[in-house]
Amino acid sequence: MLTEVQRSVLEEMAAPNVRTHLLHFGAGRGADVGGFKCGHINRGEIVDWLAAKHQHDERRQRWILFWAVIGGVAGMAGFGATVYFGLR
């Protein structure tokens, strides 16, 4: 489990930089990954953090798409009402 200090270091680096950082260290989930301000972090914990970040970003993208579709439908309805009442 990541400590708050480790989590804040990962957040500070951001997910793309953490992924790049992982390329330089061992491949096993139990490997220790160094080079962080707080010292070594277990690779499995970093991978779990990256997966959680990906899920959060994916969920946010779905909500953005949902509201974009709602906005598009509302815009089309407004345009339709303008045309309907304008030609009446």
Q: What is the pLDDT of residues 25-76, one digit of tens each?
A: 888 888 999 989 999 999 999 999 999 999 999 999 999 999 999 999 999 9
Nearest Cα to 77, choosing from 69, 87, 66, 62? 69
Residues 6+ apart with CB under 8 A from 9: 36, 37, 38, 41
| Residue 68 pLDDT | 98
Residues 6+ apart with CB under 8 A from 36: 6, 9, 10, 13
Backbone angles phi, psi at 76, to 5 degrees: -65, -40
Instruction: Please state the length of the chain.
Output: 88
Domains of the chain by residue range: 4-86
Could you tell me the pLDDT band of residue 10, with boundaries at 50, 70 and 90? Answer: very high
| Residue 75 pLDDT | 98
Cα–chain center distance at 82? 39
